[in-house]
A and B are shown apart, each in its own frame.
Chain A
Amino acid sequence: MAIKLDNSQTDLPVLKPFNYSPAGQPGDLQFSRWLAEVPPHGFIGLLLLACLWPVIAAAQSNFTTTQAFEALWRWMPFLLTKGFLLNVVVSFLTMLIGTIAGILLGLGQISPINWLRRSCWFITQLFRNSPWLVLLFIVMLAFPFEIQIGDTIIPIPDWMKAVFGLSLPIMANIAEVVRGGVQSVSTGQWEAAESLAYTRQQTLWMIILPQCFKRMIPPWMNWYAILTMATPLISLLGVEEIITLSRQAMESEDNHPELLMPFFGFSLVIFFIYCYPIARLTMKLEKRFNVKG
């Protein structure tokens, strides 16, 4: 209680109230919480059930579900090594760029410099509240497909542009995680450091960030899982990730409707297998840091 009181007694810019959006709070791990609570057997059972659907719906067709699964089996290595791998690569690179840019943007939001704080806040809100697909299309169309540096022409592949496009909302959300983390440290810590003649930079790096670093990991991982699940969006831009390749594979198998469930179901399972442990770990870390913090 008394700490709360102290909050109202300072002129530090960090303490200026921000418009908190419920989606932006670092402790908000809705996605991971939901995913971590799915029992794995339940999920797979549901999928198997769904695979029976074409058997009933298209019983008179001469293409059987068994054949569909055989086709999937043949395509599986290709889908994994060419398709899903790209999803993973895109998610890694996006997270890398988004995290670095997001940290800068988040720290910018607590800067004592007025115009910097305001513009960082604006950028964050802009990209955090825009539909991801719109951002993707804008980047796709606005970016040149090659850059010329001197005599060398560097082509920018579509998947690279997709990385930039996805980095924007990730950056904005990581910025919120960073800002929320920094602001979760009591203002008394800033004041104590200030009164000991620490500079602002020293206070931030030696006192504040070490205290909130751990608290920022679970929400950061939460955003990684959300991002990974969102990577199939880039198939709409023609990037050859798992969904694009699945469709191409089905096409070359004559587009039988029986293929639909096995192929897309496979993608679902793969994403689930990849993200489920992340979500579990996120919740575990969240619990641990909360107990200690």
Chain B
Amino acid sequence: MTTHNWTPDQPLISIRDVHKSFGDLEVLKGITLDVRQGEVICIIGPSGSGKSTLIRCINALNPINSGSIKVEGQEVNDPKLDKLALRKKVGMVFQQYNLFPHKTALENIMMAPVKVLNEPVDEVEQRARKLMKRVNLIGKEDAYPGELSGGQQQRVAIARSLAMNPDVILFDEVTAALDPETVNEVLLAIKDLAQDGMTCILVTHEMGFAREVADHIYFTDRGVIVEHGPPATFFTEASDPRTQEFLSQIL
């Protein structure tokens, strides 16, 4: 692999002028942002503005057309990229949970560390049980995803991602598919992570939550970052009319 002299005082993720098209449709039109270690950033914006596409580019689920994404100094936009090595560092949680339905909650959490990282089973199991406790799901170890509520499934998905010991986790509207009653338990789990120093990139529509946990908020529209800032100023001093309109609709 290419050597990269990344040190923790540099941004963990550094995105520079990223362009991405699906056929003729340009979805990302020059995105630039930095995420430092331990930082929590929220990306908000109207539907179709390219939020999901952006974070899926970070773990190379989507290839980009031009620009640069560096994760711990490693260039993602590189044909020789070791995608597996990248994905071991970057966890992801999806809107639709995407748990493996033929495996129990505990197996869902254990599988990747055992099969992908080749870690010893009993060590992984200990860690998995601790994670189940951390996301407040004791007693559900042997339940299949189909037997769990949406909120419970999403917390298993968070634990599954954590089990890989990633350096950063991407959350793509992880509460959007949930019943209102279960949204909070998932947000609490994420907040716990954030306070613990996990670097998080959250795409969300939960403005209250964003305000509470985010270190920095980015507002995207039609493939560009229109406005960004720390929550204290972002919500009160948004100057762009598009941001104002979006906030007035959602708050």
Question: Considering the chains assembled together, what is the distance between the CA atoms of A207 and B201 in angstroms?
Answer: 26
User: Among the listed A9, A11, A199, which residue makes an inter-chain contact with B84, where contact means beta carbons less than 8 Å apart?
Assistant: A199
Residues of chain B with a CB closer than 8 A to A10's CB? 61-62
Closest to B176 in A: A2
A-B contact count, CB below 8 Å? 70
User: Are B112 and A197 closer than 8 Å at their CB atoms?
Assistant: yes
Nearest CB on A from B96, distance (A)? 5
Q: Within 8 Å of chain B (Cβ to Cβ): is A194?
A: yes
By the criterion CB–CB under 8 Å, are A192 and B100 in contact?
Answer: yes
Q: How far is the CB of B57 from chain A (nearest CB, A)?
A: 10
Interface presence of B130 (CB below 8 A): no
Q: B residues 76-132 with Cβ under 8 Å of A?
A: 83-85, 87-88, 90-92, 94-96, 98-102, 111-112, 115-117
B115 in contact with A11 (CB, 8 Å): no
Residue A210 lies at the interface, judged by CB distance under 8 Å to chain B: yes
A211 proximity list for chain B (CB < 8 A):
100-102
List B contacts of A186 (CB < 8 A): 96, 98
Find out whether the CB atom of A195 lies under 8 angstroms from the CB atom of B96: no
Q: Which residues in A have their C-beta under 8 angstroms from that of B98?
A: 186, 188-189, 191-192
B interface residues, how many (CB within 8 angstroms)? 33
Q: Which residues of A contact B160 (CB under 8 A)?
A: 196
Bound-state CA distance A210–B99 (Å) is 14
Is A192 touching B102 in the complex (CB atoms < 8 A)?
Answer: no
Residues of A within 8 A of B157 (CB): 192
Q: Interface readout for B153-186 with A: 1 if CB under 8 Å, 0 if not? A: 0000100110010000000000001000000000
Interface range on chain A (Cβ under 8 Å from partner): 20 to 34
Expressed in whole angstroms, the minimum distance between the Cβ of A196 and any Cβ of chain B is 4
Q: Contacting A195 at CB < 8 Å: which of B53, B61, B85?
A: B61
> CB within 8 Å of B: which of A160-207?
186, 188-189, 191-199, 202, 206-207
Given contacts A191-B94, A206-B111, contact A196 B116 (CB under 8 A): yes
CB <8 Å contact, B91 and A195: yes
Which chain B positions have C-beta within 8 A of A198?
Answer: 112, 115-116
Do B61 and A207 have beta carbons less than 8 Å apart?
no
Q: Nearest-CB distance from A188 to chain B (Å)?
A: 4
Q: A10-B61, A202-B115, A210-B102 are in contact. Are A194 and B96 (CB under 8 A)?
A: no
* Cα–Cα, bound, A171→B117 (Å): 37
Interface string of A255-272 (1 = CB under 8 A from B): 000000000000000000
A11-B52 in contact (CB<8A)? no
- Cβ of B87 and Cβ of A207 under 8 Å apart? no
Inside 8 A of A189's CB, which chain B residues have their CB?
98, 100
7 contacts between A and B (CB under 8 A): A2-B177, A3-B96, A11-B62, A191-B98, A192-B157, A196-B112, A197-B85
Interface set of A (CB-CB < 8 Å, partner B): 2-3, 6, 9-11, 186, 188-189, 191-199, 202, 206-207, 210-211
